Structure 1
């Protein structure tokens, strides 16, 4: 009754400490500190330079749930360890004539085809850099942080401001994202 992912121990790099409390887990490293709620239905043990996630002993009717939570808890804990050691980045491309991005403090100001500039306040724990793009990319926004979930959700919220449209591909997209293009009116022959 073990998940394949959950079976693997999580190696702790130098400078990373994991502390398990009653209801939360604290992970500290060179990049920062994460304090997260403890995942249910699993036991977490810290032994010399690795962390092991073990399924909790429960009744048979909860066995499939325990297996799912086992793999999930291990993946989340691994993301927290990697985050405080290396950090995570996500980059977005702004494509469209006249589309601009600027950063003032912790507020991202986007001019993406609306009658007014859109201001997006970055959440605590996420930093951004704005740089000029190359080719059809006008600007590139690079988000960085130690919490993978928060960095990814922030990128999704920024993309939601002006998602790429299918005719010319204008909008905000993830770097490397492929946009399915449509032919438009002149495409029928």
Structure 2
């Protein structure tokens, strides 16, 4: 049985959870999210506590057990607090700017790179080198951050590129001259 799946989910006071098998709808201050629960998982609510159990003891049911619990917990956190990621651009001449809702990156290519975020994701740029991504869906926030980082990942010799806020890049020693 999944260790994560066995944990209970505590619903905060300002969050409303509506369960219509198999769909789960979570409403909060920042918005609403929904998730379709697998037929292998049973859900119970009692006194602002959600508990997930498996209907069968198959390997697939056990795998989906922890996944479903994590997704529902992330939905509750997302509609109450939201999720944020910060990216930092390093390199001479590398910069970013906003053009309406779109992010424009000038990072050493012959053309600027344009990234259009989904409707429920907010992108903000500070000092042309700091990019802040926020939203209620953890998966979308992480995916947009990974997409932006993949345009120019940090390289190991000079450390230039786009990196996450707390990411450390292992530096390599360059060529040894003769």
- TM-score normalised to the size of structure 2? 0.93
Contact 1:18 1:46 in 2 (8 A): no
How many residue pairs end up in the alignment?
A: 178
1:40, CA displacement in angstroms? 4.1
Q: 2: CA distance between counterparts of 1:18 and 1:54? A: 18
Shift of 1:35: 1.8
Q: Which runs of 5+ in 1 are unaligned?
A: 133-137
Write the mapping of 1:93-104 to structure 2, written as runs, cut at 5 A.
93-104=88-99
Moved over 6 A (4+): none
Partner residue, 2:16: 17
Determine the C-alpha separation between the residues in 1 that align with 2:14 and 2:124. 27
Question: CA RMSD for the aligned pairs?
Answer: 1.5
Aligned to 1:55: 54
**Would you say 1:45 and 2:40 are equivalent positions?**
no
Deviates more, 1:161-170 or 1:15-24: 15-24
* C-alpha contact 1:40 1:69 (8 A) present in aligned 2: no
Taking structure 1 as the reference length, the TM-score comes to 0.88
- 2:172 aligned residue: 182
Matched, 1:159 2:154: no
- Uncovered stretches (5+) of structure 2, i.e. residues with no partner: none
2:135 to 122, 145, 154: 145
